[in-house]
A and B are shown apart, each in its own frame.
Chain A
Amino acid sequence: MVDPIGAGLIALSAAIAVGATGIAAALGEQVIGSAAIGVMAEDEGFFGRGLVMTVIPESIVIFGLVVALILLFVTLPSIA
């Protein structure tokens, strides 16, 4: 029998994992992205490296997503 509170907490944890890391990644990319665009205005050849630097903080939210996926697809079924 599924413990509804436990299941709810797991779902909530997954939401926090994605939401909080999403905010963190956004804060990082905001700063780097605007700086990269600034450099690109001077030199269009910077696009490739600019893109690389801009997406570096994105790893944070990907990790959050992985945690959420494991919570939802591995942990949640295991208590059911």
Chain B
Amino acid sequence: MFEPQPMTKVIIAGSKDYMNIAIDAMYKHNVVHIADFVDEDEDFKIGKPHESITKLSERAVSLRSLASYLSIKGKEDIPNKYPEGAIIDTIDAKTEQLDVEVTEVTDKISEIESKIKDVKDKKRLLEPLKSFNLPLDLYTGYQSLAVFVGTLKGIPNISDITTDYELETAPYGRGSAISLFVPREFEDDVLKRLQEQGYATLPTLKGEGIPKDIIVDLDAQLTELQSEKQKSEEDLADLRKKHIEYILASDEYLSIETQKAEAPLRFATTKNAFIVEGWVPTKDLGLIQSDLDGATNGHVIVSVDRSEAVDVEKVPIALKNPLPSKPLEVLVRAFSLPKYNELDPTKLMTFMYPALFGFMLGDIGYGLIVIALGLLVSRVIKGQGMRDLAVIGVYAGVFSVIFGFIFNEFFGVEPFGHKGLLTFIEYPAVPRLDNVLTLLILTFVIGLLMLTLGYVLGFVNEYRQHGLKHAVFAKVSWLMMLWGGAIAVALVLPALSSGSGIQLSLGLIAGLVLLVVGFILMIMGEGAIGLTEVPTLLSNVLSYSRLLSIGVSSTGIALAVNKLSDALFFSKGGIFVIFGVLLLIAGHAINTVLGILDSGLQALRLHYVEFFTKFYRGGGMKYIPFGFERKYTEEN
């Protein structure tokens, strides 16, 4: 019931002449998990890829560069699947033609872009000179004059060097732009002075005309270039729209063909034969056997390998759960896949995770929000992981609503009963803030039960893996200590707190005996090192108190939001009612987010840390069948 999908180890062997047919057949069924062959020796060599691989790779490279030019990511949805036959015959010619079309447009775009860059560069250089009414050609070509054109901080003062100069300045950036003409003999002195003020020369521009006029002209050019660029980009978008289906389909086709061509790299081959080792879900064994036999006329056989005991480390794991439990697999996978001889906790989590979540959130209003969010996300988002989480959210929301009725909470308000909003509905609700001690004890009981379940599952795992004796030492011992301790504490603690002496009752003796016997068994099984683990029994049970703590904090925040908005705004009436409503919405929105995050993570933690550690190690290898889920193409 809690096992992963049963797997059968198979050996597929046959003549090399039939290898490609066998690969096609295996690929089509998408069920064989190939165990890669790695140990080459004199007789068995790793197979060589099909000769078509070079051609396929070349095609894939050119197709993917096209896809990247057209910004096709490979995740798009297309309405119709492309027939594979229509690709095979035309792929070379069509890709080439597409390449020409696309390159023409992209070349044009990059040409325009480089022109735009030139114009912008030129404009940037002219910008400092635009306030000077001197034509460009007058800045160069003097024998007796030195010309300084550039930028610097502040305004230069060279009157102590020479009075015979021509200076124009204009504010530029944080400093100023200058054009300065001095007689050649003062060039060095002036340059030194300028450099003290952080002078940077502007490159000399060739050309004619006044800078201001040239800039106006450049701006016009820029506008024209940009509109040209936009037009070309529209052309590119048109091309994308026209060819996206073909490109996605051909890319998928090439991926499929490449995988098939590379498959022999995972096979063991001799001069004339090939051998594939792999795993097939036991339910699909008959199908693959008869199909390979039929396709190759009996030249390739699929035989079940019973030569050695199953090595659980090497069996690939496919989880097997009914549809309602499937989304929870994401939480198990996030921890680790089970080993082949381990129990898969997904089914248990389907109930337990939402229940713990609901116990913590425990509010009809917040629960409804969580359900709505879950439904919304599962509709809108396409990613499988997020959708799974959304479905888990819906389950968790339902339990939150159920516990909301039990705790009688609706956005922190009591909806039912004589103190509530709907006084005509009365039932024995358990408001959390009024029953802290009772609920605290209940959380310990929940912890006790969940740990017990964990140890029972652990017993089954140990029994399967190492036999009865080991299972008793490793798991029953802990279970006895857990319950012995729990009984002892349950009997001693009330007596201590009420001040009456401890009565040595039959129950207390039974508890202590359980505790001691369990302890001895554990020491016999695990040795003294087990001592270090004993305190975790207590902390694990106490850890379940978070079920109450998180819930009460969330209730407390909701209550605070309600009281604040009432005291600050609603009691004043008038325009303040609007502020009150805003505060209510903001406060409860924050509390919902906190509630979902905290309840979600803490429920997960109670599974991972407290529950899983009692029976679950994980470390299974994922089942990856040889094949492909076609999305854009269909076989003819």
Contacts and interface: CB of A to CB of B under 8 A. Distances in A.
A64 to B, nearest CB: 9
Interface in B541-566: 542-543, 545-546, 548-549, 552-553
B436 A62 contact: no
A26 B23 CA distance: 55
B437 interface: yes
B542 A49 contact: no
A65 interface: yes
Interface stretch (A6-14, A30-38, A50-58): A50-58
B334 A73 contact: no
Contacts of B542: 59, 63, 66
Contacts of A69: 436, 440, 548-549, 552
B436 A74 contact: yes
B341 interface: no
B25 interface: no
Contacts of A70: 436-437, 440
B569 interface: no
B608 A52 contact: yes
The number of chain A residues touching the other chain, given as a range, is: 10 to 19
B539 A59 contact: yes
A41 B67 CA distance: 29
A48 interface: yes
Given A62-B546, A66-B545, A73-B433, A48 B336 contact: yes
Interface in B588-636: 601-602, 604-605, 608-609
Contacts of A74: 436-437
Contact of B605 (A47, A58, A66): A58
A66 B440 contact: yes
Interface string B429-443: 000010011001000
B549 A62 contact: yes
Contacts, number: 56
B335 interface: yes
A56 B610 CA distance: 10
B440 to A, nearest CB: 7
A19 to B, nearest CB: 14
B546 A48 contact: no
Nearest to B542: A63
Contacts of B553: 65
Interface string B517-548: 00000000000000000000001001101101
A56 B609 contact: yes
Contacts of A51: 334, 601, 604-605, 608
A59 B605 CA distance: 10
Contact of A47 (B334, B545, B549): B334
Contact of A59 (B333, B543, B601, B608): B543
Contacts of B546: 62, 65
B436 A48 contact: no
Contact of B334 (A48, A55, A66): A48
Nearest to B545: A66
Contacts of A58: 602, 605
A55 B545 contact: no
Given A66-B440, A69-B549, A49 B605 contact: no
A56 B605 CA distance: 9
A70 B441 CA distance: 12
A74 B435 CA distance: 9
A63 B440 CA distance: 12
A65 B539 CA distance: 14
B608 A48 contact: yes
Nearest to B549: A65
A49 B336 CA distance: 8
A62 B543 contact: yes
B539 A49 contact: no
A59 B602 CA distance: 10
A52 B539 CA distance: 15
Interface string B123-150: 0000000000000000000000000000
Contacts of A65: 545-546, 549, 553
B292 to A, nearest CB: 33
Given A70-B437, A73-B433, A63 B605 contact: no
A55 B552 CA distance: 20
B435 to A, nearest CB: 9
A61 B56 CA distance: 59
A13 to B, nearest CB: 16
B582 to A, nearest CB: 29
Contacts of A52: 335, 605, 608-609
A20 B524 CA distance: 40
B489 to A, nearest CB: 15
A51 B335 CA distance: 9
Contacts of B543: 59, 62
B605 A55 contact: yes
B601 A55 contact: yes
A56 B540 CA distance: 11
A15 to B, nearest CB: 14
Interface string B315-353: 000000000000000000111100000000000000000
Nearest to B333: A48
A48 B279 CA distance: 27
User: Max chain A CB contacts within 10 Å: which of B542, B546, B553?
Assistant: B546
A58 B549 CA distance: 12
A70 B493 CA distance: 15
A58 B440 CA distance: 18
Which 5 pairs from chain A and chain B are nearest by CB? A48-B335, A73-B436, A48-B334, A65-B549, A62-B546
Given A65-B549, A73-B436, 4 more contacts: A51-B608, A55-B602, A58-B605, A62-B546
Interface of B: 333-336, 433, 436-437, 440, 539, 542-543, 545-546, 548-549, 552-553, 601-602, 604-605, 608-609
8 contacts: A48-B335, A51-B334, A55-B609, A56-B609, A59-B539, A62-B546, A69-B549, A69-B552
